[in-house]
Amino acid sequence: MARRDALHHKAWTLPTSRVVDIWSIEPDDLALARSSITRHPELSARDLLHLACCRRRGVGRVHTFDRALRVAVEGG
């Protein structure tokens, strides 16, 4: 049981140790997402919005299981 508790503790502290800010979606984010549709046709509308938010805020690296989004954020 102690091992399980330790794993749960790690599972809950990892995300909270990484969260710095939660951004509001702003009109400029929406405009940038929309203008990125032809450049990134492989991304969903949600991913385009995530990409736009990252770009506008200078994020150069993301932790995600979504390979296409990660490549778009990190590689342009």
Give per-residue pLDDT as tens, 25-71. Answer: 999 999 999 999 999 999 999 999 999 999 999 988 887 888 899 88
> How many domains are contained in the chain?
1
Residue 62 lies in a domain: yes
Instruction: Judge whether 38 lies within some domain.
Output: yes
**Domain assignment present for 31:** yes
If you average pLDDT over each of 1-10, 16-25, 62-71, which comes out highest? 62-71
Q: Which domain holds residue 48?
A: 21-75
**Dist. CA 10–CA 15, nearest whole Å:** 9
pLDDT recorded at residue 65: 83
3-state secondary structure of 40: coil
